[in-house]
Amino acid sequence: MHERAGPTGGGVRRIVTGHNGAGESIIVEDALLPGTALAEDAGRSDVSFFHLWATEEMPVPLDDVALPRQRAGCATTIVGNGTGSVLRIGVLAAGARSPMHRTGSLDYGILLEGECEMELDSGEVRTLHAGDVVIQRGTNHVWHNRSSAPCRFAWILLDARQ
């Protein structure tokens, strides 16, 4: 049995499918990925990210040549080449806060567990609860976990024109 990630660590299970030589569907990988920081947040212990997947072009190649690069994920805010995507899980410990930041992407954020506040540079604040979805369209924002429990987001980032 694979364990779930703790407040800022543990692991996230990633299962990757593919094809064998006969063209049949197979499991290529079933692994527990460790949490790490974003390149921009190196050294923080109150936030952990699981870099699950990244693509660099559209349409996305499904061949084995692209697999290692895609599997490596992306530890920066976004791929940044105009046609990339990033999938990651982020865990903010109780009391954690992100810096004010803006990504060069369209971000789909799905709050999987917990509660978190999103604050925009205009001062507007919204509280998100498990199951809520936020669509970030290249806006400056801060994440505040003011609760007593960790919160866990799934993030899908798509390179965008600004």
- Specify the pLDDT at position 4: 46
Range of the domain at 135: 35-159
Average confidence (pLDDT) over 109-118: 98
- Residue 121: inside a domain, yes or no? yes
Average confidence (pLDDT) over 4-9: 46
- Residue 26: inside a domain, yes or no? no
- Residue 110: inside a domain, yes or no? yes
- Residue 27: inside a domain, yes or no? no
More confident residue, 42 or 107: 107
- Residue 139: inside a domain, yes or no? yes
CA–CA separation, 107 vs 138, rounded Å?
8
Average confidence (pLDDT) over 24-28: 97
Read off the tokens for 5: 């990630």
How many CA atoms does the CB half-sphere of 33 hold within 13 Å?
22
- Residue 108: inside a domain, yes or no? yes
- Residue 5: inside a domain, yes or no? no
Q: Taking Cα atoms as reference points, which of 56, 59, 58, 52 lies closest to residue 73?
A: 52
Tell me, what CATH number does 77's domain have? Answer: 2.60.120.10
Specify which of 42-56, 81-95, 131-145 reaches the highest per-range mean pLDDT.
131-145
- Residue 9: inside a domain, yes or no? no
